[in-house]
Structure 1
Amino acid sequence: MIEGKLVRLRALGSGDLEHHVRWRNDPEVVYWATGGDPLFGPVSREAVAGFHEARLRDNPRSEATFTVEDLADGRAIGMADYRDLDPFTGQATVGITIGERDRWGGGYGSEALELLAGHLFGACRLRRIELETWSGNERAMRAFRRIGFVEEGRRRAAVRVGEQWYDGVLFGMLLEEWTARTGRT
């Protein structure tokens, strides 16, 4: 368990299934998380249950999903994850979704992402983490920059949202940038 001032990241539990099914089938959550990519939703309860069972059974070191809980009331409000952790290169890809819309814009996702970054740079001894969003998700890009992520590149017109194309935007953060910003390693 990793705890901040607003949220805690805890291991994925069997009780999280219903929340994840609801978030993965909320069109507005899917829109902001993926640009509305139909591969990400709607999804069946069985598909999410299969994902949960695999994560609970096979929690390999190269990936993990955490439930984001609001410390004020213990409510599950989202999920954060890392994947493709490569101990040789010291890199991983991270992701964050706040599924409860009433928690959007309150700093919950930013703190969850900061806690995850601190864990990966500290406990996992990584050198670099990255994440990606689409160029229409300006709120996410502002949050990533505020936390210390740097825009590293764009895949032009790579994300289709309705009939419009947006860039896929890659952000990264290095251990030395994290250390300079937070004073922690």
Structure 2
Amino acid sequence: MFENKMIKLRKLSANDYTTYHDWRNDMEVMETTSLNFDIYTLEETEQFISAIAAQSTAKGYLIEYKETEQTVGIVSLINIDYKNRSAECVIDIGVKDVWGKGIGTAAISLILEYAFNELNLNRLYLQVFSFNERAIKLYEKMGFIHEGKFRQALYRKGKWHDIVIMGILKDEYDQHFVK
């Protein structure tokens, strides 16, 4: 369940802050995923990862690339609402050398399977910056539907950008993946 041919997912722990710290401070990595485009101290990253690992409404997993046995990113379900059976999906591939190798697809596939078949959620949603066309194409390929946008909600590199809201329902996932 937590692995496929390409990757393994390992539960995030409070001790994983050193792994995430370099990605969090790489502007090229965070440019397309982080609202808070800033530099963080090691202590701030430790507090951030500890908070995610301790939340009952979040499930975070490090992505390990089997070919190199390297930890290359993180995929999480956050803002889990068990009553209404929904959660937000977040992914960062922090190792730039593996961009474009299908790791995002593999990780989203595993997190969708986990969310719908293990946690019994009905809806996953995500936010993606309108200029991140590669991610939008990935999410569309994985069955996510455009639900709306926050217009001009992000100022990056001297321009305003929309934040696109996308979602997928359990029955859409079943139609897309379950044969």
Q: TM-score, normalised by structure 2?
A: 0.94
2:153 aligned residue: 158
Q: TM-score, normalised by structure 1?
A: 0.91
Please give the residue correspondences for 1:46-65 in structure 2 after superposition, counting only pairs within 5 Å. 46-56=43-53, 58-60=54-56, 62-65=57-60
Residues in 1 aligned to 2:47 and 2:60: alpha-carbon distance in whole angstroms: 14
Residues in 2 aligned to 1:15 and 1:5: alpha-carbon distance in whole angstroms: 27
1:98 aligned residue: 93
Residues in 2 aligned to 1:66 and 1:41: alpha-carbon distance in whole angstroms: 23
Question: CA contact under 8 A between 2:152 and 2:161: conserved in structure 1?
Answer: yes
Residues in 1 aligned to 2:37 and 2:27: alpha-carbon distance in whole angstroms: 10
Measured after TM superposition, the shift of residue 52 of structure 1 is 2.8
Question: CA contact under 8 A between 2:18 and 2:46: conserved in structure 1?
Answer: no
Residues in 2 aligned to 1:106 and 1:172: alpha-carbon distance in whole angstroms: 24
2:31 aligned residue: 31
Please give the residue correspondences for 1:1-185 in structure 2 after superposition, counting only pairs within 5 Å. 2-13=2-13, 16-34=16-34, 37=35, 39-56=36-53, 58-60=54-56, 62-183=57-178
Measured after TM superposition, the shift of residue 64 of structure 1 is 1.6
CA deviation vs aligned residue, 1:42-84 (integer Å, no higher than 9, x gap): 111001112233344x241x21211011012221000011111
Question: CA contact under 8 A between 1:94 and 1:131: conserved in structure 2?
Answer: yes
Task: Please list every run of 5 or more consecutive structure 2 residues that lacks an aligned counterpart in the other structure.
Answer: none
User: How many matched pairs?
Assistant: 179
- Distance change (3 Å), C-alpha of 1:15 and 1:85: closer
Residues in 2 aligned to 1:155 and 1:163: alpha-carbon distance in whole angstroms: 18
Question: CA contact under 8 A between 1:24 and 1:40: conserved in structure 2?
Answer: no
Cα RMSD of the aligned pairs, angstroms, is 1.6
Question: CA contact under 8 A between 1:133 and 1:140: conserved in structure 2?
Answer: yes
Task: Please list every run of 5 or more consecutive structure 1 residues that lacks an aligned counterpart in the other structure.
Answer: none
Give the partner amino acid of 1:150. I
